[in-house]
Amino acid sequence: MALPAPAYDLSASCDAAALHAAAAHGVPPHLLLAITRVETGRYRNGALQPWPWAVNEGGEGHWFDSPAEAAEHVQSAIAAGQSNIDVGCFQLNLRWHGGRFSSLDLMFDPEKNADQAARFLVENHQRKGNWVDAVAAYHSATPEHAEAYVQKVEAVLTDLAAGDATATSVMADSPAAVQENRFPLLRPGASGTMASLVPAGGNASPLFLAMR
């Protein structure tokens, strides 16, 4: 499927929405930037870029050129009896998150999608008490799936720390993203192990806490 010429700008819309939602709900901005890449990222122009019109239907990913095409595909899937469908920048599941939106179009909107993703992460953080488990619960209640997901997010965070080209310009314009980096997994050369999911210095602070 051919992508439209302004693909770079559209991928940046997920980043911009992530930063807005992070600031609104107190979620570490790098965390949302990483999650949107894990959920919808594809390599373009040498970097992993998120995409707002992405759909995962029963485990099969699709990237559409427009929200109208994406919504049409989702409606057809629903009509065919498919109920396990994830949509948008943060791949929100229709079954679990659809009730938070008044329409499918709004669920695809990057700002609305990111806002609900941030709310969900905060709810998880309040229940679990740390960002590691909040991220794990964002994806799955099955331990092995959740741990694998956390490792994927950590790997993308390492890439972001090294200067992901698609996020750099957006982050430079966002005060919320200009923060002290006290976390091994956010430094170039990070080992990428679960041991790096807490700050250096022996503090009790969990993953990504107090990034500012």
Distances (CA, A) of 76 to 1, 19, 44, 79, 212: 18, 32, 28, 5, 44
Q: What is the pLDDT of residue 159?
A: 87
Phi/psi for 86 (5° steps) reads -110, 140
Q: Which helix (H) or strand (E) holds 86?
A: strand 85-87
d(CA 78, CA 73): 9
The predicted structure's pLDDT at residue 212:
28
pLDDT tens-digit profile of 98-107? 888 989 999 9
The residue ranges of every structural domain in the chain are 7-51+109-197
**CA–CA distance, 117 with 32 (Å, rounded to integer):** 8
The residue whose two tokens read 């969900």 is 120
CA distance 19 to 202: 28
> Which range among 27-36, 69-78, 128-137, 186-195 shows the weakest confidence by mean pLDDT?
186-195
What local confidence, expressed as pLDDT, does residue 46 receive?
A: 82
Secondary structure (3-state) at 49: strand
Report the percentage of the chain scoring pLDDT > 90: 58
Q: What is the pTM of this model?
A: 0.76
The span from the CA of 141 to the CA of 139, in Å, is 7
For 127-186, write each residue's pLDDT tens digit.
999 999 999 999 998 899 999 999 999 999 988 887 754 554 444 444 444 343 333 333
The structure tokens listed for 73 are: 């595909």
Please state whether 58 falls in left (phi above 0), alpha (psi between -120 and 50) or beta.
Answer: left
**What pLDDT does residue 123 have?**
95
